[in-house]
Amino acid sequence: MQQVKTILLSKSVFEDNDREADALRARLREKGVCLVNVMSSPGSGKTTLLIALICRLMKKYRVGVMEADIDSDIDAVNVARKTGCRSVQLHTGGMCHLDAGMTAQGLNELGDGLDLVFLENVGNLVCPAEYDTGATFNIVILSVPEGEDKPLKYPLVFQNSDLVVVSKIDALPYFDFDMEKCAQYISGRNGAAALIPVSAKTGENMDALENWFINKLSEV
Amino acid sequence: MQQVKTILLSKSVFEDNDREADALRARLREKGVCLVNVMSSPGSGKTTLLIALICRLMKKYRVGVMEADIDSDIDAVNVARKTGCRSVQLHTGGMCHLDAGMTAQGLNELGDGLDLVFLENVGNLVCPAEYDTGATFNIVILSVPEGEDKPLKYPLVFQNSDLVVVSKIDALPYFDFDMEKCAQYISGRNGAAALIPVSAKTGENMDALENWFINKLSEV
């Protein structure tokens, strides 16, 4: 089994996070690395989805993952075990989000030679959306059991995301989730965001998600 | 239909939130009001659960509800419509949690003459746990689709809660959720926390939840 290192992030020393984020984005562009910031509620199935997606994308790209949590390393261990990709667990020391300085610390730990890095942010729909991590693009995962009204209650994370993935669609028969309303609420917050409903469990529509990434990476 | 007022909370002027929270708790005790701070992830079914619980508790107590959200008033409208109890929508102005000063503003708006007030905090497992609202007690709701590992990843909210409600147990056949492991993880964080699994949809075990509140209120 692959070793997974856990690092405790230090608080950033930078006063201007936006400037630091832009600088990080520029450094990543020079190196040819695409960094994807993944946000969602706790328990939306981020890790399961990432595992399924990474197994597909690893055939084309050199992929790494940073798992940010307040505590535990189960996500990083799981990702490393199930995909074999380079993975590091970031502990935020109680912080509810990552900023660009913290993200840079994680990237240093992960090392060079990667095309695509996923940052699984702390499970939280509020605070992570307020801090630019320096990512090339942002995605938000909304799971069917959470309900379609989340874009009404948590506007910023939907405003700041390039893609909304509706996860756990295999559970649609079990929950009252109105996909049409969900699409309306999302486009009310962000007309430019793509919407891809998937099930990592059954594989439904994972092709569309994979293709979205392949297209997006060809533009970077 | 009952009118529901939405108020935009102002940022607290108090530097010492813990002291302000203790003072609020003392004022509530004098007035004979029990304030319950309800925390969870977005989409855990807090509002549905509260509606089912309040319909039961209103037979014995005068109940009020404060719904805190970053945006929208659908929760407060829903609670007022389905229970008929006094309800107010609090907008946090983007803030990810409530503190004691903000809670006191909501209570002023709600008015006097209540025995039991529920504060539905912002859907977030991280930040609300860091701020004492002045509540008489705290509860956290963990829904089955989120998975049993949340006490490992979000320790503080479980440490600071008197009761963990596992919601949506009607979905247990559909998700891999290990209740025994969940109980272990919770007691690892907080040996004193009660654990009550319920379904607001089917009504399963709602009697136990109602009784927990009746017992708790008899102690206050």
Predicted confidence (pLDDT) per residue in A41-68, tens digit:
999 999 999 999 999 999 999 999 999 9
User: What pLDDT shows up at residue B143?
Assistant: 97
For residues A128-143, average pLDDT: 97
For residues A95-105, average pLDDT: 93
ipTM above 0.90, yes or no: no
Write the DSSP symbol of residue A51. H
User: What pLDDT shows up at residue B3?
Assistant: 65
3-state secondary structure at position B2: coil
* Chain A contact probe: residue of B146, B170, B172, B184 with most A CBs at under 10 A: B146
Residues of chain B found within 8 Å of residue A150, distances taken between Cβ atoms = 42-43
- Name the residue in chain A with its Cα closest to that of B69: A153
A159 vs B70: which has the higher pLDDT:
A159
Predicted confidence (pLDDT) per residue in A165-174, tens digit:
999 999 999 9
Question: Which segment of A26-40, A66-80, A98-112, B98-112 scores lowest on mean pLDDT?
Answer: A66-80
Question: What pTM, to 2 d.p., does this model score?
Answer: 0.92
For residues B3-12, average pLDDT: 79
User: What pLDDT shows up at residue A3?
Assistant: 66
Distance CA B31, CA B108 (A): 13
**In this complex, do A126 and B125 lie within 8 Å of one another by their Cβ atoms?**
no
- Name the residue in chain A with its Cα closest to that of B126: A96
- Name the residue in chain A with its Cα closest to that of B71: A153
For residues B184-190, average pLDDT: 97
All domains in chain B, ordered by first residue: 18-215 (3.40.50.300)
Pairing state between β B116-120 and B86-91 = unpaired
Spell out the residues 6+ positions from residue A77 whose beta carbon is closer than 8 angstroms to its own. Answer: A4, A87, A89
Percentage, residues of chain B above pLDDT 70 = 99
B140 neighbors B44 (Cβ within 8 angstroms)? no
For residues A5-13, average pLDDT: 80
Predicted confidence (pLDDT) per residue in B171-182, tens digit:
999 999 999 999
For residues B41-58, average pLDDT: 96
User: What pLDDT shows up at residue A93?
Assistant: 84
Predicted confidence (pLDDT) per residue in A61-88, tens digit:
999 999 999 888 889 999 999 999 999 9
Write the DSSP symbol of residue B174. T
Judged by phi (left if over 0) then psi (alpha if -120 to 50, else beta), residue B3 lies in beta
**In this complex, do B125 and A72 lie within 8 Å of one another by their Cβ atoms?**
no
User: What pLDDT shows up at residue B15?
Assistant: 78
- Count of positions (residues) in chain B: 220
User: What pLDDT shows up at residue B29?
Assistant: 96
Predicted confidence (pLDDT) per residue in B120-154, tens digit:
999 999 999 999 999 999 999 999 999 999 999 99
Residues of chain A found within 8 Å of residue B96, distances taken between Cβ atoms = 96, 124, 126-127
Of A41, A74, A127, the CB nearest to B127: A127
CA distances from A102 to A30, A35, A105, A118, B96 (A): 20, 14, 5, 14, 20
User: What pLDDT shows up at residue B2?
Assistant: 54
Residue A2: band (very low, low, confident or very high) from pLDDT cuts 50, 70, 90: low
Write the DSSP symbol of residue B12. P
For residues A106-122, average pLDDT: 96
pLDDT of A1 above 70: no
Predicted confidence (pLDDT) per residue in B156-176, tens digit:
999 999 999 999 999 999 999
User: What does the block give as tokens for A7?
Assistant: 């690092």
Alpha helices (H) in chain B, listed in sequence order: 17-31, 46-57, 74-83, 100-110, 150-153, 155-159, 179-189, 206-219
* Cα-based angle A43, B98, A98 (whole degrees, multiple of 5): 50
Distance CA A176, CA B56 (A): 24
For residues A14-24, average pLDDT: 91
Distance CA A157, CA A141 (A): 10
Cβ-based interface (< 8 Å): residues of B facing A: 41-43, 69-72, 74, 94, 96, 122-127, 130, 143, 145-147, 149-150, 152-156, 168, 171, 174-175
- Phi–psi pair at A218, nearest 5 degrees: -70, -20
